[in-house]
Structures are given as C-alpha cells and as structure tokens.
Amino acid sequence: MLNREMISPRSIAVIGASNNISKPGGKLLKNLIDNNFKGDLYVVNPKSTEVQGVSAFPSVDDLPAVELAVLAIPAAACPSVVEILCKDKTVKAVIIISAGFSEESDEGKKLEEQIVATVNKYGASLIGPNCIGVLSPWHASVFTTPVPKLDPRGCDFISGSGATAVFIMESGIPKGLHFASVFSVGNSAQIGVEEVLEYLDENFDPKHSTKVKLLYLESIHNPDKLLKHASSLIRKGCKIAAIKAGSSDAGSRAATSHTGAMASSDLAVEALFRKAGIVRCYGREELTTVASVFMCKKMKGKRMAIITHAGGPAVMLTDALEAGGLRIPHIEDSPKKQALKEKLFPGSSVENPIDFLATGNAEQMGAIIDACENDFNEVDGMAVIYGSPGLFPVRDVYQVLDKKMHTCKKPIYPILPSVINVKSDLAYFLSEGNVNFPDEVLLGKALTKVYRTPRPHDDGVFLDGVDIPEIRRIIDHAKDGYQPPEIIHRLFDAAGIPRVNEQVATSLEEAVEIAGDIGFPLVMKVIGPVHKTDVGGVVLNIRDIDTVKHQFNRLMKIPHTHSVLMAEMASGIELFVGAKYEDRFGHVILCGMGGVLVELVKDVTSGLAPLGMCEASSMIKNLKSYKIIKGYRGQEGVDQRKFAEIIVRLSSLLRFAVEIKEMDINPLLGKGDRILAVDARIRIEK
C-alpha cells in the first residue's frame, strides 16, 4: 500500500547518484535538485565525496535515518541494500529504477521476490523495479524528462511502462494538459496500477483532489480491485480514461463454441472498463485528447454547435461527431439568429456549422459564442475552430476565446490548429490554463467516446425467480464436459430463462411419441456433433409423422450422433447470448445477433458478471445491429427489457455456478415479448 513516505517524504536518499547526468542516478538527482525538493537530501556514491553539490556517503551503512530511498544500482546489489535500508535506516518507501529483474530472467525474478519479502517484513512501500520513478507535489524522483510543472487541477497519471509514461506526457503537454502526479510502477512487484488507484480513492478529497485519472496498463493483476476503486472514484465525481495494451490471441484457445472463439481476455477488459465507467483508449494521442475533454466543462446533452472560419475542418469534425452519435443541429430561424447574421460579414453562414469566414475577427467570434450560450437552446456545447494562415497575429481572438471558456456555462472545445504560424499566441492561450485540440477528428472521436461510456453499473445480483439451491444441486451432480439437454433444461428452468419445449429421442418409437406430445410444426437436431448445421443435422418445419420417421433415420446416420433433439418450432429474430469464464475476471457475457450471423458479423458486446438491468440494456443498445432488435422496415422487433432480463438471469445463474466455463445460447428466437432459448451448449469444468 502506498504511504505518506512515498508521497511526501521528509528525506530522500539516492543510492547510486552520479555527477554524470546522462546516467539514471545522475539525472534523477538533478531532477530532485532542480525541482526544489525541500526535505533532507542524501546521496550514496563510494567514489565521490560530493555529487552535484550534495555531500556523498560511501555506503548505505553510513546514512542517517531516511524516509524514502531511490535505488539506481545493479539489480544484484538491490536486495542486500534494501535490507539495510529498511532494517537499519527506518526507510518506509523504496523506488527501484534499476532493470534486470522479473522482466529479464528467472534469476531476476528471484531478486525481485526477495526485495518484496523485505519491504513487506518492515511495512514499507515499493515502487518498481524497472520504472522511471514518481512525480508528486513534494518530489520529482524520476530520471527522465519532461518533468512537467505539477498542477493540483491537472490529472493523476499511473503507468505500467516508464517509457510510455514519458511519451504520454509529451503528447499531453503541447495540448495544455497538466499533471497533478505521475506514478510509473514498472514491474509492479508490490504496488501496481490498481494499488495506486486504491490509494487515490481512499484518500480522495472532493475539495482538493484532482478529478481526472489516466491509466496505462499492460496487464491487470487484480480486476476486482481495479473495478472497485475506479467505479468508486467515478461515483465521487472523477473521470478516468485508460489504455490497456496487449490482448491474448483468442485463436490459440481450444474453443469449440461461438463464445469460446470470440471471448478473449481483451473482451474481459472491455467489459470491466464499461462496468467501471472507464473510457477506453487505444493510443497516446487518443488518451491525452480524452483527458483534455475531461478538463473542459461537461456537455449536458449531445447537440454541438461548430463555430469556424475554415470549412474543411468543420466538415471533418461534423462527420466524426455524427458518426459517434452526437448531433450538429440546425439553428432554427428566429430574430436572434437574424440579428447574429447582421453582425457578421456578408457570405457568413449561421446554419451550423456557423462559418464566419477566414476574415472573421475576435468581436464576431465573441458574438457567435454569446448567441450559442444565451439564444440558441438547441445547442449544448461549442467547438471553436480558429487557425491562421500566418498573415497577422490572432492574440485578440484567443483572448476572447479564453474569456468565454471561463465564463460560459456551456462547454467550449477550442480547435486551434496553427501550432507554427501563431506559435506565440497559442502559447499565451495555453499559459492561461486552457487546453487545445489541434486535430478536430481526434476531438470528435474523443467526445463521442466520452459520451458513449456509461456510468458505473450496480453490481447487485438479480435473484427474482432464481432457484439457487436447485442450481447448486444440478451443478454438484453434473459431470465435466458438455452437458446433455436435460441438464441444460433444468438449469434454465432454475434460473427462469424461457426455452422451447424440447425432448430427446434415442429410438424411432420415442421420436414418434415425442412428436405427438410436442405437436407440429417441430424441429429435429442431432446430439453429438459440435456444429449441427455444418453436418446437415438440423431440420426445420416438420409437419407430419412420416417426415419425423424419415428424418430420424437420416439424422442418426450422421457421424458422432447418439440421439436426436426434438423441439417445438419457434420463430422470430435470431439472437445470441454466451458466456466464457476468464481467470481473475470471472464470467464474460456476450450478446448479439444469433444464427450464422454470430460468426459472420461478430457484432457482439460484452459485460462482466454480475450484470444489472441497466448494464444489460446498455450492451443491447451498443450493438451495431440494434436497429434490427428495435424493429426494422416493418418487421416486429424484440422486447428489449425481456432480452435484457434473460441476459441478467444468465448472469445470476453463472454467479452461483462458476464451474460453467463456457456457454452458448444460439439462437434465442425473439418476437415481441416472446423470447425463447432454442439451442444451447454448456461446458462444465470442476
């Protein structure tokens, strides 16, 4: 757990400090000095009596008591040094920037484990090894640049990669993005991204803590902790954006179901982020653009006015916003609209985008912003595009824009693309605490991503009509492997998942008897082969006994068939629901269009069990094929609440049956509020 000594130490010792600032130990010491660390600063260097003006100790044995130690020495020397520091020098926080540990070899992993055992024994905090260090308002214990001037209104940034942390800061600073703290956790031997987030959550102060958090993760060691503290911070008013780099290859899995083929650890990450309310990003520029959106006032609707003096960027921004679900509404005709037009040069347009031409000036831009703020109720926010061909300064324009950004209630997103032509004017604008979006398409995509990310979801378990004791009895007595229809039927009945009437026939006589019981029309399907359709093992719309006899005899001859499933004939839109158990994450639940479309289109959304009704509804609405579910071109749609309830009931079933490792319901046939599970596969592994 992070402690006070790591965040705000009264004393720091740099082990391996150097006069050579091209070495990590030398640069780290220089950063501490240049950024005015106000506590006691000690260095250890056996070859020098003074390092960068600081008296040096020849050995850690000679140090006085110290709170934080930063190690820039070879990996092999670190365990013994950490033992001395924690045992004899009362060190309670250790940062190891050295490499050569678990990221490199098994021997390095043993060194790392030895260090963790020591810091745990003495109740100390450890950041690293193999990291760039920590930036807090009290100290700059990093060996890299840039070292941004920290701002309590900036963002807390936690990275699993030191180099990537540097590149993300370099991406954000030119946009005007400020940082409140930076944690590079490296190998996360004791403290990882999740533990830093836990500290920020448990020590959150609504008056003084920054409300923007950025994460870069290469692995998620503790999904539950990440979910708990991310969602807690967001509920407290924070905004979180994250990159999760790297995804496992789903094709390498020995999966025999649709779910197994599609559900990967990356989909589990997607589901986790959605459940927590984290905006997921896929690159540095996207992450820092989303963070800059967070720094602006929140847009309360989805209607944007685009104010521009250049047509091309406005068109590209319009495309990006509307593709993501935001709207560029037409400005309704009114006396106020006409009054605004009279303030602009001839040829200007106030239709939205509002184009006040390349010759537009500061006064005109201010009038447009005032109209969008006060007169045009169809507008929830404004994007202002203003660059320069380099003919004249634009300081007065940027001064007006700065003033309006601070005084308007509606958010303003500045798109100032002239980073060379009016470099000094842009620098002024950023120095006033503003952000800039030099690329309008990146802004458009970031805004829509923020808009489409749901709030944290309730993780309560739906229990209405779910027979938990019966579920456990079925699971406890079931054998490993894919389950026969009768087990699947009992599980669905216990969870309240509606299904078609199905019975299994192992002989011709049974088939005839079952047909009379179910009635016509009915469906016959082979039991045994994995993909029934591929082997001609599904027959629909059977309407008489003679066809039952003929098809039973034919189906039983298909290789690997041992019986035939006979079911009532249902109709409607083919839907799909599946689940896959992922280590550490739990069950990832998928939904989408069913039948062969599940493989051809792969239009699925994911959720992490347990699911609530709001989260299940969000999964349905985020499908690209959502219009089909709503009802399309005269075709009756599916009751979305009923579909969501089935997804939630499946989630509750899995909550009490973790032995189910893989499941498909394909298809669910839906028409109005009648949705029935038609075919299902369940694999149990105890």
355-407: pLDDT as tens digits: 999 889 999 999 999 999 999 999 999 999 999 877 778 999 999 999 999 99
Quote the tokens at residue 331: 């400005």
Query: Which long-range contacts (C-beta less than 8 Å, at least 24 apart) are formed by 625-629?
Result: 625/592, 625/593, 625/597, 625/601, 628/573, 628/593, 629/573, 629/575, 629/670
Q: Is 354:308 a contact under the CB 8 Å cutoff?
A: yes
Question: How sure is the predictor about 661, in pLDDT bands with cuts at 50, 70 and 90?
Answer: very high
Task: Please write the tens of the pLDDT for every residue from 324-348.
Answer: 999 999 999 999 999 999 999 999 9
Q: Is the pTM of this model over 0.85?
A: yes
User: What is the percent of the chain where pLDDT is above 70?
Assistant: 97
Q: Is 620:643 a contact under the CB 8 Å cutoff?
A: yes
- Would you say residue 250 has pLDDT above 70? no
At residue 273, the pLDDT reads 95
Output phi, psi for 530, to 5 deg: -70, -55
- Would you say residue 119 has pLDDT above 60? yes
Q: Is 100:108 a contact under the CB 8 Å cutoff?
A: yes
Q: Strand 538-542 to strand 68-71: parallel, antiparallel, or no bridges (unpaired)? A: unpaired
Task: Please write the tens of the pLDDT for every residue from 312-323.
Answer: 999 999 999 999
Q: Give the separation between CA 457 and CA 299, rounded to whole angstroms.
A: 21
- Would you say residue 255 has pLDDT above 50? no
At residue 261, the pLDDT reads 46
At residue 462, the pLDDT reads 85
> Across all residues in the chain, what is the average pLDDT?
93
> What does 430-487 look like in DSSP terms, one character per residue?
HHTT----S-HHHHHHHHHHHHHSPPPPP-PPP-TT--HHHHHHHHHHPPSEEPPHHH
Question: How sure is the predictor about 264, in pLDDT bands with cuts at 50, 70 and 90?
Answer: low
At residue 461, the pLDDT reads 83
Task: Please write the tens of the pLDDT for every residue from 129-185.
Answer: 999 999 999 999 999 999 999 999 999 999 999 999 999 999 999 999 999 999 999
Output phi, psi for 136, to 5 deg: -130, 170
Phi and psi based region of residue 102 (left: phi greater than 0; alpha: psi -120 to 50; beta: remaining): alpha
Burial 106-129 (b: 16+ CB within 10 A, else e): eebeebbeebeebbeeeebbbbbb
At residue 573, the pLDDT reads 92
Domains parsed from the chain with CATH numbers: 1-129 (3.40.50.720), 148-296 (3.40.50.261), 297-434 (3.40.50.261), 457-499+570-686 (3.30.470.20), 501-569 (3.30.1490.20)
Q: Coil, strand, or helix at residue 261?
A: helix
Amino acid letter at 186?
G
Helix (H), strand (E), coil (C) string for 106-152: HHHHHHHHHHHHHHHHCCCEEECCCCCEEEECCEEEECCCCCCCCCC
Q: Strand 68-71 to strand 93-96: parallel, antiparallel, or no bridges (unpaired)? A: parallel
Q: Which residues contact 27 (CB under 8 A, 6 or more apart)?
A: 21, 143, 144, 145
Cis? peptide before 46, omega within 30° of 0: no
Instruction: Find the largest Cα–Cα distance for the chain.
Output: 101
CA angle 475, 607, 498 (to 5 degrees): 50
Q: Give the separation between CA 44 and CA 92, rounded to whole angstroms.
A: 18
Burial 581-597 (b: 16+ CB within 10 A, else e): bbeebbbbbbbbbbbeb
At residue 352, the pLDDT reads 95
Tell me the mean pLDDT in the region 79-92: 98
Amino acid letter at 472?
R
Q: Coil, strand, or helix at residue 359?
A: coil
Q: Coil, strand, or helix at residue 606?
A: strand
Amino acid letter at 333?
D
- Would you say residue 251 has pLDDT above 60? no
Q: What kind and span of H or E run contains 354?
A: strand 354-355
Question: How sure is the predictor about 247, in pLDDT bands with cuts at 50, 70 and 90?
Answer: low
- Of the candidate ranges 118-122, 198-202, 239-243, 603-607, the one whose mean pLDDT is the lowest: 603-607
Task: Please write the tens of the pLDDT for every residue from 414-442.
Answer: 999 999 999 999 999 999 999 999 999 99
Q: Give the separation between CA 639 and CA 237, rounded to whole angstroms.
A: 34
- Would you say residue 248 has pLDDT above 70? no
- Would you say residue 252 has pLDDT above 80? no
- Would you say residue 253 has pLDDT above 50? no
Task: Please write the tens of the pLDDT for every residue from 181-209.
Answer: 999 999 999 999 999 999 999 999 999 99
124 DSSP β-pair partners: none
587 DSSP β-pair partners: 581
Question: How sure is the predictor about 257, in pLDDT bands with cuts at 50, 70 and 90?
Answer: very low
Task: Please write the tens of the pLDDT for every residue from 509-555.
Answer: 999 999 999 999 999 999 988 778 889 999 999 999 999 999 999 99
- Would you say residue 260 has pLDDT above 70? no
- Of the candidate ranges 29-33, 508-512, 600-604, the one whose mean pLDDT is the lowest: 600-604
Question: How sure is the predictor about 258, in pLDDT bands with cuts at 50, 70 and 90?
Answer: very low
* C-alpha neighbours within 13 Å on the C-beta side of residue 171: 18
